[in-house]
Amino acid sequence: MESEIDRLRKKVENFPSPSSYNRLAELLHLAKQEVEAEAVCRKCVKEFPRNSQVYALVADIQLATGRKAEAGVSLRSALERDGRNYAAARMYADWLADNRDLPGAVAQLKQVLAFRPADPAVMRRISDIEGQLRGVPTGAMPVRPAPSSLRPATPPSAPAPPGAGSAVRSATPAPAASGVRSGIATPGSGVRRSAFDTLAAETGVRATVVVDTQGQVVLSKALPTSSGKEDTLAAFAAAIGEAVADLSKLAGNPAPSSWVLGAEIGQVLAFRRDNGFSVVALADPTVRPAMLELRARQALIDLGAT
């Protein structure tokens, strides 16, 4: 183990990557070198702030050293960066259960079932917690299948569809609120949302929505600080899209496929393709539109654009 730690130490110095940092921190943690493991995690957070797994590792170290409250914060950070982080989601559910938030723990675990359908360990844990809620001792409850609304369309053995996790709304506020508006049929909504989730997870992105031509929200994802602004963003984006199309028509051009509105402390970016949907993002002023455009284009292709 020692040689592997040394090898990884050299690797993170010469060719740093999130995976090598994570592995090194994991090995140090296993070797009970908690202080050094945490230092490696901090360095990784500094260099790769979007790395979700490292926050889960930090939480694990914090739990091992008795810092439960800090661990909760780290786990929320992990899930803000990647809502489909299995380890972080399960740890957070356990953390909620330890803090007597049993309904919250169940809701968290049900979110895991959305991207890991029929996961036996998760289903067992849900049964245990639900048993505790009813006053039955832990382990005495039989394992029940997931509720029908959460039951996967794919067989239990099939891999989870990418991005399906965000289609499920939690009973408790999730770190990044997301949702698919019911009643609006969209090709691929709730099935392939990985590109949309990736866009929403980009550094500096505060909120992202998929909007139809009438300004209705089809999909949305927002950080807590920007939550509630999705409808405003969608309605104005549709109106601005129309105004831009009118202006372009007068200039003798077809409607543009993207627009960027820069403001003092934020910017709004909108990208459209031929299927009538637009991806609109509210972001920090420092965010590079070109990078977001790539993600938005992929999200639109996921929604059925050509």
Partner 1 sequence: MQDILGELNRVRGVGGSLLFNADGLLMESMLRSDADEQALAAAAGALIAQTSRLCDSLSIGKQTAFSASGDKGGVMMCAAGAGTLLLLLDPNANLALLRLEVKPFADRIAQRLTL
Question: Residue 255 CB, nearest distance to partner 1 (Å)?
Answer: 7
Q: How far is CA 21 from its chain centroid?
A: 21
Number of residues engaging partner 1 in binding (CB under 8 A): 32
Question: Residue 216 CB, nearest distance to partner 1 (Å)?
Answer: 17
Question: Residue 242 CB, nearest distance to partner 1 (Å)?
Answer: 9
d(CA 265, CA 30): 44
The answer to whether residue 67 forms part of the interface with partner 1 (CB under 8 A) is no
Residue 193, burial from CB neighbour count under 10 angstroms (0-12, 13-18, 19+): buried
Binding range to partner 1, per CB under 8 A, among 3-11, 76-84, 155-163, 235-243: 235-243
Instruction: Please state the φ and ψ torsions of residue 192, each to the nearest 5 degrees.
Output: -120, 95
The answer to whether residue 45 forms part of the interface with partner 1 (CB under 8 A) is no
The answer to whether residue 246 forms part of the interface with partner 1 (CB under 8 A) is yes
Question: Residue 243 CB, nearest distance to partner 1 (Å)?
Answer: 4
Question: Residue 220 CB, nearest distance to partner 1 (Å)?
Answer: 14
Among 268, 292, 296, 305, binds partner 1 (CB under 8 A): 268
The answer to whether residue 135 forms part of the interface with partner 1 (CB under 8 A) is no
Question: Residue 173 CB, nearest distance to partner 1 (Å)?
Answer: 21
The answer to whether residue 260 forms part of the interface with partner 1 (CB under 8 A) is yes
Question: Residue 293 CB, nearest distance to partner 1 (Å)?
Answer: 10
Among 137, 155, 183, 254, binds partner 1 (CB under 8 A): 254
Q: Which two tokens stand for residue 275?
A: 């299927």
The answer to whether residue 264 forms part of the interface with partner 1 (CB under 8 A) is yes
In whole angstroms, how far apart are CA 184 and each of 202, 296, 301? 26, 20, 18
The answer to whether residue 220 forms part of the interface with partner 1 (CB under 8 A) is no
Binding range to partner 1, per CB under 8 A, among 134-142, 153-161, 183-191, 233-241: 233-241
Decide: 269 and 243 in contact? Cβ < 8 Å.
no
The answer to whether residue 1 forms part of the interface with partner 1 (CB under 8 A) is no
User: Which candidate, 161, 57, 165, places its Cα nearest to that of 108?
Assistant: 165
87 vs 255 by CB, closer to partner 1? 255
The residues that touch partner 1, with contacts defined as CB under 8 A, are 229, 232-233, 236-237, 239-240, 243-244, 246-248, 250-268, 282
